[in-house]
Structures are given as structure tokens and as C-alpha cells.
Chain A
């Protein structure tokens, strides 16, 4: 199977239903833009797709050569790279140390850390400094670079450019087009209409 299928996903916090009956299929090279007003549940949907939250109902099936992989499987076994505002790297470690640590957790030893850091425009001279000394934009670039570790076939980015400058936005756009042109699947939540128009081959609006 080489498509990503979301089937009848519903999410609720207590009695408050965020969304329900969300279904879509993404083929290799597709990029899905998720839009909706603040609080509609865009981030919640992306966390479900990344395996970080359990939906109330519904199933997500991921592209896999190794049999059926669904969101019921352990999160670390999903072929997903995720970057969102509520996920952080270790402040006490440097950018390189963070990348090597997380790659090692996935059993990867030959990750081109330097290339990934450069690709997202991080200053390689500062890659050995602790992340606590980084600006918000630099941290975001590092988190985006981290989502690329292991070249996962599904990339999920939640508001990726909210804290990036114009060059960072351009780099993010380059990564998106490079990933989809190689047959990867992209899912992005954004409030930027311009990004939604330019980046998505498919669109999904959550809420009214």
C-alpha cells in the first residue's frame, strides 16, 4: 500500500466534539492543506495523523511496504515526520546532538545531520551550541530539520512558517516541493491563505 487513508476520524474533548467523519486518501506526491478557524481542531487532527493522540473513532492507514501500519501501532513505528508548536527539542543539547540523539532512537546511524541542518538554513557554526541560545525561528528550523530525519514518507507540519522569516519560508517551500516530487506525502495546517493556495494539491477545512 502506498497511499495514506484516513477513515471516519472523530475527535472530542469530553462532550465537546471537535470534528467527526473526517475521511481522505492521499497518494504519493499529494500535499493536503488543513485549514479552519482557531480552535477548530487542525492541530488535534494533525496529532492524530502523527499518532500522538488517539481519536475517539476512526483509523489512519499509512503507506508501508511492511504490512498494514495503522495509528493503533506504536507511534515510533509510524513512517511519519512531525513538526508542531507543542513539540520541542532539548534545550540543553546542541542542534547536532539533538539530531543524532533522535536519529539514534530510530536505529539510524548514518543520518546526514550536517546536510539537514544546512538544508533548513541553520548556521552550521552554531550547530554545536545549546539550543537554549537559539532564537524562536532557529528552533523552528531545527524542529523542521528533525522531522526530516530518516526521510519519512509522510511529513506532517503544523503551522510550519508561523515563526520563520522570509528566507525560512522559502526553505520550507523548497522542502515541500522536493518531498512531494520524490513521491512523499505532505500534510500541513496553516492559517495563511497564500500558503494554502500555493502548497496544497488537496484541501481540507475543519469546522465551519
Chain B
């Protein structure tokens, strides 16, 4: 055995560099565990597929306005993503690995690593759901650049807020799923409303909708910055206490 070290962590670099390195390791660990269990990806893929098929089956004979199509798309995306996003922290607590993470990893790196994984998960949900949705319920017009931008910014805000809420509810003794939806709903509602409004602009050619979409994207960007910053500032207290 090596001689016991008297001192604090032997960091490979500065505090920020170490935190980023640890976040990368946690992200890679999440991916590795997910590829071996396929729990989150399996459940969100199945949810996306069944919801899109159910929606298309029920509404195939209807002529839907772009605002209804935009709302339906975000409802599917929201609930598909939510079915997997809470797992990142709930799994750690239930498996008893959260204390090990507390002993070895800086708190900010835990949030950042989990956020990166949830971002990847939301991106996967969008890659599965959106093309399928556009095939079964094609809008009159599609502005691909606008749609991709709204999906990217909306996905970032959704991941950021949901990751923080997941860290809060993971400590609950029971009813974690119900609690996750209850706490996340008011936090995500403003994001959802703006994302729907912005997506309408990507689904038609009405000039006012286009300008609303552009200003909506600015709101989505601000939402993501605010939730990520607040989560990084508050996470240490949630994680330790």
C-alpha cells in the first residue's frame, strides 16, 4: 500500500479544470451504464413511438392548425423526456452510490455530468420523435433552421431544469415519480408555453408567428442560462444536505 497522504485531493489541475474533468467522467459513466442497461433510452423511445402513433391514429382524418401541431409535438417531447430524466439521480440514491459520488466528486461536476447525460437523452428523444411526428402529421410549411433552433434551446432548458428537480426529489423516501412531475410542472410550464409558440412559427408562414418565434428563442436561451446558473449555485446545498 502507498504511504498515506496527508492533505487534500491530489488534483490533476485547477479547481475548474478538475470539475470539468470529473463532469466528463460522470457523463461517460452515465453513457456506459445506459448502454449496458438501456433503461432510459428504452423507456423514452417506447413512449415516443406509442404516443406519436396514438396521436396520428386519432387525428389522421382531422385538419390541424399549426398551433395544435406544435402543442402536440411538445406534449409528446415533454412526457417522453420526463419519463427518463429523473433516473439520473433517483438511480444513484436507490442503488446507494450517491454517497460514493459525494466522497469522490465535486458537487458541481455531478450536476454538470448528469446534465450532459440528460441533454444527450433529450436529443435522442427529439431525434426519434420529431422525424416520426413530421411524417405522420406533416405541417403545411417547415422552416428547418427555426425548428432545429427551437428544439435545441427548448431541449437545453428542459434538461437543465429537470436535472435540478431530479436532484431535489431523489432524496424523497417515496413517491419520487409523482413528486418529480409535481415539482417540475410549474418550473417547466413557462418553457413549454414559449417553446410551443416558437414552434408555431416554424410550422407556418405567418409573419407575426415568425417574429414571435425569434423572440421566443431569446426567451428560451435566457431560461436555459438562468436555470443552469441557478442549479449550479444551489446544487451543492441540495447534494450535501
Write the residues of chain A forming the contact surface with B, with a CB cutoff of 8 angstroms.
2, 50-52, 54, 63-66, 69, 74-80, 82, 84, 86-93, 97, 101-102, 104-109, 112, 119, 130, 146, 148, 150-153, 175, 178-179, 182-185
Q: Given B25, B96, B103, B236, which contacts A50 in the complex, CB threshold below 8 Å? A: B103
Q: Which B residues touch A84, using CB under 8 A?
A: 99
Report whether B25 and A74 are in contact in the complex, using a CB–CB cutoff of 8 Å: no
| B2 interfacial by beta-carbon distance below 8 Å | yes
Q: Which of B6, B18, B21, B241 has the most CB of A within 10 A?
A: B6
Whether A153 touches B25, Cβ cut-off 8 Å, given contacts A50-B103, A88-B95, is no
Q: Which A residues touch B18, using CB under 8 A?
A: 107
Report whether B11 and A151 are in contact in the complex, using a CB–CB cutoff of 8 Å: no
Report whether A93 and B33 are in contact in the complex, using a CB–CB cutoff of 8 Å: yes
B5-43 residues with Cβ-Cβ distance < 8 A to A are 5-13, 18, 21-22, 25-26, 29, 32-33, 36-37
Report whether B104 and A74 are in contact in the complex, using a CB–CB cutoff of 8 Å: no
Q: A183: nearest residue on chain B (CB-CB)?
A: B4
- In the assembled complex, the Cα of A185 lies from the Cα of B100 at a distance in Å of 20
Q: Which of B7, B95, B106, B236 has the most CB of A within 10 A?
A: B7
Q: Which B residues touch A75, using CB under 8 A?
A: 102-103, 240
Q: Given A65, A146, A179, which contacts B4 in the complex, CB threshold below 8 Å? A: A179
Report whether A150 and B6 are in contact in the complex, using a CB–CB cutoff of 8 Å: no
Number of chain B interface residues as a range? 35 or more
Q: Which B residues touch A54, using CB under 8 A?
A: 240-241
Q: A78: nearest residue on chain B (CB-CB)?
A: B8
- In the assembled complex, the Cα of A182 lies from the Cα of B33 at a distance in Å of 37
- In the assembled complex, the Cα of A16 lies from the Cα of B101 at a distance in Å of 29
Q: Which A residues touch B1, using CB under 8 A?
A: 119, 148, 151, 175, 178-179, 182
Write the residues of chain B forming the contact surface with A, with a CB cutoff of 8 angstroms.
1-13, 18, 21-22, 25-26, 29, 32-33, 36-37, 95-97, 99-107, 109, 236, 240-241
Q: B35: nearest residue on chain A (CB-CB)?
A: A92
Report whether A93 and B29 are in contact in the complex, using a CB–CB cutoff of 8 Å: yes
Q: Which of B26, B32, B100, B241 has the most CB of A within 10 A?
A: B100
- In the assembled complex, the Cα of A84 lies from the Cα of B102 at a distance in Å of 14
Can you list 17 pairs linking A and B with CB atoms under 8 Å apart? Answer: A54-B240, A66-B8, A74-B107, A75-B103, A76-B104, A86-B99, A87-B96, A87-B100, A88-B100, A91-B95, A105-B26, A105-B104, A107-B9, A107-B12, A151-B1, A151-B4, A184-B4
- In the assembled complex, the Cα of A154 lies from the Cα of B95 at a distance in Å of 25
- In the assembled complex, the Cα of A88 lies from the Cα of B236 at a distance in Å of 21
Q: Which A residues touch B11, using CB under 8 A?
A: 106-107
B140 to chain A, nearest CB (A): 46
